[in-house]
């Protein structure tokens, strides 16, 4: 007589066998999905590929294929789409058939000075318009006032200096001569060493009046100097308004990138009533009064050490004067 346990065990084994048969049977019999393969570059309207262009423009094509735009496996790049004709619009087939030549077939060269900057930028924005940093390019200072083209700063057929921190300032300094001088002064940001680049502070594609990377100067500075943000019990107005009221961010001959030395910098805003001014000279007697100390070692920061903001809660009249 067969026990119930034996019957139950037989049913479990039969079910497991059927499951395995169904799984492996389908694995062999069912059609397998095709392995995804990289799509070959498609060239619009029968336009020739880069191999054909290299017949005359060998150096340019060779350098281009080593750039981000020349990455064939990236469908977002020109080489993943229409090839050279993505940027060099015109009848490329007619250009090749005629044996080449400047302007033959209506081919557009982005380096040509005869082409308006707006037309050049339109070609670049055809792909790059969706980038949030470039949405407001047309309203930017570089586009609306300086009438610059993307190719004024960017190099497409070779290594783009703008995209590397160590070489980016070379491109910016070609126009911004004053900043070139300032960045070589003793007190400066480490731009020449490649630790900080112009793009860390400036969004050259945006419509911010000062082309800042953030909404304002102070927000941009706070991205690195967060200890100056606060909030403080006693806030110093220039700190919350604009750091450049006191600092020259591109470089200065004065420590801490100050525009001028204390007390002269401070007295641009603060009247000398509390600390009467005197002619430079040595005090003629021992004294601790500010009215008798003259200008010897007289820096406001000797006493007002927390000049960016103070958290002093001391119950006295001078607690809000940014002292320790």
| Average per-residue pLDDT for the chain | 80
Per-residue pLDDT at 71: 87
Burial grade of 143 (CB within 10 A; 0-12, 13-18, 19 or more) = buried
Burial grade of 243 (CB within 10 A; 0-12, 13-18, 19 or more) = buried
Per-residue pLDDT at 210: 85
Nearest to 70 by CA among 89, 49, 98, 95: 49
Q: Are strands 234-235 and 309-310 parallel, antiparallel or unpaired?
A: antiparallel
Domain ranges of the chain: 48-106, 132-222, 232-324
pTM as predicted: 0.72
Per-residue pLDDT at 273: 65
3-state SS string for the chain: CCCHHHHHHHHHHHHHHHHHHHHHHHHHHCCCCCCCCCCCCCCHHHCCCHHHHCCCCHHHHHHHCCCHHHCCCCCCCHHHCCHHHHCCCCCHHHHHHCCCCCCHHHCCCCCCCCCCHHHHHHHHHHHHCCCHHHCCHHHCHHHHCCCCCHHHCCCCCCCCHHHCCCCHHHHHHCCCHHHHHHCCCCECCCCCCCCCCHHHHECCCCCCCCCECCCCHHHHHHCCCHHHCCCCCEECHHHHHCHHHCECCCCECCHHHECCCCCCCHHHCCCCCCCCCCCCCCCCCCCCCCCCCCCCCCCHHHCCCCCCEECCCCCCCCCCCCCC
Distance of CA 50 to the CA centre of its chain: 31
Question: Which residues have C-beta within 8 Å of that of residue 157, sequence separation ≥ 6?
Answer: 60, 63, 64, 67
pLDDT tens for the chain, residues 1 to 324: 445 555 555 566 666 655 554 444 443 333 433 333 333 334 444 567 888 999 899 999 999 988 888 888 888 888 887 889 889 888 888 999 898 888 888 888 888 888 899 999 999 998 888 888 888 898 888 998 888 999 999 998 888 999 999 999 999 999 999 999 999 999 999 999 999 999 999 999 988 878 899 989 999 999 999 999 988 988 899 999 999 999 999 999 999 999 998 888 888 888 766 665 655 556 666 766 666 555 566 678 877 888 999 888 776 666 667 876
Six token digits for residue 67? 């750039």
Q: Is the dihedral of CA 319, 311, 222, 194 positive or negative?
A: positive
Per-residue pLDDT at 317: 64
CA distance 28 to 59: 51
- Measured at the alpha carbon of residue 314, what is the angle toward residues 308 and 318, in degrees to the nearest 5? 65
């Amino acid at each position: 007589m067969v026990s119930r346990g034996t019957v139950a065990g037989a049913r479990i084994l039969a079910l497991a066998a059927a499951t395995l048969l169904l799984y492996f049977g389908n694995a062999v019999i069912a059609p397998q999905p095709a392995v995804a393969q990289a799509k070959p570059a498609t060239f619009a309207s029968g336009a020739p590929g880069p191999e054909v262009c290299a017949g005359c423009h060998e150096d340019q094509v060779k350098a281009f294929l080593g750039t981000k735009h020349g990455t064939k496996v990236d469908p977002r790049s020109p080489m993943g789409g229409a090839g050279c004709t993505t940027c060099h619009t015109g009848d490329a087939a007619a250009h090749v058939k005629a044996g080449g030549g400047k302007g033959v077939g209506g081919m557009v060269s982005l380096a040509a000075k005869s082409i308006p900057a707006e037309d050049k930028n339109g070609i670049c924005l055809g792909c790059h318009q969706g980038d949030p940093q470039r949405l407001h390019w047309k309203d930017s200072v570089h586009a609306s006032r300086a009438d610059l083209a993307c190719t004024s700063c960017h190099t497409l057929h070779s290594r783009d200096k703008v995209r590397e921190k160590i070489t980016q300032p070379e491109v910016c300094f070609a126009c911004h001569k004053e900043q070139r001088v300032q960045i070589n002064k003793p007190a400066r940001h480490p731009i020449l060493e490649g630790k900080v680049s112009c793009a860390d502070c400036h969004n050259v594609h945006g419509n911010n009046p000062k082309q800042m990377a953030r909404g304002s100067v102070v927000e941009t500075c706070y991205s690195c100097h967060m200890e100056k943000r606060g909030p403080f019990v006693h806030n110093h107005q220039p700190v919350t308004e604009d750091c450049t009221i006191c600092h020259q961010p591109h470089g200065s001959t004065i420590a801490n990138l100050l525009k001028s030395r204390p007390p002269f910098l401070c007295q641009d805003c603060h009247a000398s009533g509390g600390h009467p001014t005197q002619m430079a000279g040595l005090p003629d007697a021992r004294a601790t009064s500010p009215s008798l100390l003259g200008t010897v070692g007289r820096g406001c920061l000797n006493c007002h050490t927390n000049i960016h903001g103070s958290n002093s809660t001391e119950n006295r009249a001078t607690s809000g004067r940014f002292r320790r």
